[in-house]
Amino acid sequence: MTSVAIIPARGGSKRIPRKNVKAFFGKPMIAWSIEAALKSGCFERIIVSTDDEEIAAVAREYGAETPFMRPADLSDDYTGTIPVIQHAVAWLASTGVPVSRVCCLYATAPFVSSDDLIRGQELLVGEGCSYAFSVTSYAFPIQRAIRIKDDGRIAMFSPEHFQTRSQDLEEAWHDAGQFYWGTAEAWREGRPIFSEDAVPVILPRHRVQDIDTPEDWDRAEWLFRAMREQGAS
């Protein structure tokens, strides 16, 4: 039984240029994910899938492998996660490596914990499902969400819940954007991740932050600094 981590890290980030190797608290951003994977002890191999020579060099410096360069047709702004992992799994199969479990670990996840990666693998195996991935709860009831219309006025998405007390509404969860454990078979077949054949690895909200814009980056720095100062986990 072989478990492999695949870290997708293309070089063409637009909103935060070079974000995968941009310094975050003294290390290239991608280093935090590599180090968490190494510390977890879950993986026989940690592979970075990239189209960029600089990212590849940084990945190797921090202990990951870059045994192939990702092709251009899987490195544009529109390629999803599943095709990238499928490509890596297919490459491993072509080299005769028997892979049972694959964890897609995002390169911009400085809050990822080795303990959570371990929990994810345990859930994947214990539940016998296709995927186990990180989730966290919404801070506000989604049933009471509002939208701004074209005329600048407000409308509720679910007006039937205007009078419903927050505590009476079902709690909602969202993808935490850190990691996705899956069986090699599920990745190969392109099974949907968000399905009844997946289980959640629940994370506290203070350890979840998408990093897609400069504002996201600033917020991640604030959170990371606060966690370090307070010893939060």
In a domain, 153, yes or no: no
DSSP 78: T
pTM of the entire predicted model: 0.94
Task: Write the pLDDT tens digit of every residue in 81-125.
Answer: 999 999 999 999 999 988 999 999 999 999 999 999 999 999 999
Is 156 among the domain residues?
no
Cβ pair 202, 136 in contact under 8 A: yes
The DSSP line for 18-41 is TTTTSEETTEEHHHHHHHHHHHHT
Over range 196-201, report the average pLDDT: 98
The domain in which residue 56 lies consists of 3-136+173-230
d(CA 226, CA 224): 5
| Dist. CA 99–CA 35, nearest whole Å | 21
> Is 26 a domain residue?
yes
pLDDT band, residue 179 (cuts 50/70/90): very high
Domain count, the chain: 1
**2-46 tens-digit pLDDT:** 999 999 999 988 889 999 999 999 999 999 999 999 999 999 999
- Res 233 pLDDT > 60: no
Q: What is the mean pLDDT of the chain?
A: 95
Q: Which residue has the tokens 């203070």?
A: 206
Domain harbouring 10, CATH code: 3.90.550.10
What number is the average pLDDT over the span 148-155? 97
> Has residue 106 been placed in a domain?
yes
